[in-house]
Amino acid sequence: MNIGITVYPTYGGSGIVGSELGKELAARGHTVHFIASSLPTRLTELSDRVRFHEVEMMSYPLFEHQPYSLALATKMAAVAESENLDLLHVHYAIPHSISAILARESLKPNRNLPVITTLHGTDITLVGADRAYLGITRYGLRESDGVTAISHALKNQTIETFGFERITVIPNFINPEEYTRHPNDDLRARLAPEGETLLMHVSNFRPVKRPCDCVEIFARVLSHDIKARLIMVGDGPERARVEHHARTLNVFERCSFVGKQPRIADYLSIADILLLPSEHESFGLAALEAMACEVPVIATNVGGIPEVVTDGETGFLSNLGDVEKMSLDAARLLSDPDLHRTMSVRARASALERYSTDNVIPQYINFYESILAR
């Protein structure tokens, strides 16, 4: 198949999932054309099978805001014609599905160009549900030829918010060879110079991830006389506040803020626990990546997280904001090596059994084929 994929190229898990999907499809013999405003960060190598088409935008004094959605629609239609695309697959509904629908309509009746929209989370729970975008999001769902969601929780929420039911759940995935625990003694020695255990948080430091809760949990873990350090991976708007909070709690010296990292598996490979105290999480890709690297997860029981992390088996789940319970769970795990080992092994097994690329990519291919066969 000749597949057009659109993602947000720089931020967020939806861009990662869309980019990794493209690479996996190419590895299975399909040709993938990424259509985006810049080269997606995960797309380090282009080839005959993985191509990139940049959306160009004209600036004009009259435009207070450049009409990106229209430029994207124009590019999608042009690429569909020049590259003979079979379908467009967009990740994140706003505005990608609307642009794709416009592209499809602009090519009628000469070309059939099915539009598949994958919902990732805030495109439904925050942005799409906002009054400013509710109507157009509903239209995007209704007019897409196929809609997938990355968890049952997100599907249910979409039904609740939009009354739209025609959704197939295809979960996020990991490549088991890329996400595997590998020795990294230098990094461990640098981040845990006294052999401390490592709690880790990986996110884009937006308020929805509640990174300050990580510091709260960590401070409580230290009060149980556990030698530990907190490694905060990523960057974003909350970082300064979190650093300040760590200073206020007197634990800053035991925290490392390492910023954005290109090879997350290197970091997860030295972690003992992943903290994910999010307010919303339609799936929790960070949890899945950690589990694949044998890291048990301590998280909130919100959205799709309970589908990924099994409470008491591959991690521990708590109510939103219950930093006390999260710290007790972390302390228990860190002071019981047998329990930690059992959970680590189960975490990887569970991740691979349900979310390996060999399991999930064929679900997308079958979905494409079912839409094309209509």
Using an 8 Å Cβ cutoff, are 32 and 61 in contact? no
* Residue 343 in contact with ligand GMT, rule: CB under 6 A: no
* Residue 283 in contact with ligand GMT, rule: CB under 6 A: yes
The residue (of 16 and 219) whose beta carbon lies closer to ligand GMT is 16
Phi and psi at residue 162, to the nearest 5° = -115, -5
Strands 297-300 vs 315-318: parallel, antiparallel or unpaired: parallel
* Residue 95 in contact with ligand GMT, rule: CB under 6 A: no
* Residue 13 in contact with ligand GMT, rule: CB under 6 A: yes
Helix (H, G, I), strand (E, B) or coil at 109: coil
* Residue 300 in contact with ligand GMT, rule: CB under 6 A: no
The residue (of 121 and 296) whose beta carbon lies closer to ligand GMT is 121
* Residue 96 in contact with ligand GMT, rule: CB under 6 A: no
Secondary structure, 3-state, 167-203: CEECCCCECCCCCCCCCCHHHHHHHCCCCCEEEEEEC
Cβ 150 to ligand GMT shortest distance, Å: 5
Q: Which residue in the block uniquely carries the two structure tokens 């890291």?
A: 295
Cβ 225 to ligand GMT shortest distance, Å: 34
Contacts of 81 (CB under 8 A, 6+ apart): 107, 111
Cβ 264 to ligand GMT shortest distance, Å: 13
From the list 9, 95, 114, 284, which residue makes contact with ligand GMT (rule: CB under 6 A)? Answer: 284
The residue (of 17 and 265) whose beta carbon lies closer to ligand GMT is 17
List C-alpha distances in Å: 80 to 25, 136, 296, 372. Answer: 18, 23, 43, 15
Q: How far is the C-alpha of 12 from the C-alpha of 118, rounded, in Å?
A: 14
Question: How many Å separate Cα 154 from the centre of its chain?
Answer: 13
**68-87 residues near ligand GMT, rule: CB under 6 A:** none
Contact stretch for ligand GMT (CB under 6 A) within 160-168, 275-283, 313-321, 335-343:
275-283
* Residue 203 in contact with ligand GMT, rule: CB under 6 A: no
The residue (of 37 and 122) whose beta carbon lies closer to ligand GMT is 122
Per-residue binder mask for ligand GMT (CB under 6 A), 151-190, x = binder? ---------------------x------------------
From the list 20, 238, 281, 307, which residue makes contact with ligand GMT (rule: CB under 6 A)? Answer: 281
Strands 146-149 vs 168-169: parallel, antiparallel or unpaired: parallel
Cβ 216 to ligand GMT shortest distance, Å: 20
Using an 8 Å Cβ cutoff, are 7 and 18 in contact? yes
Using an 8 Å Cβ cutoff, are 156 and 121 in contact? no
Contact stretch for ligand GMT (CB under 6 A) within 41-49, 117-125, 156-164, 316-324:
117-125
**Entry field: residues in the chain:** 374
User: Which residues of the chain form contacts with ligand GMT (CB under 6 A)?
Assistant: 12-15, 17, 120-122, 150, 172, 208, 280-285
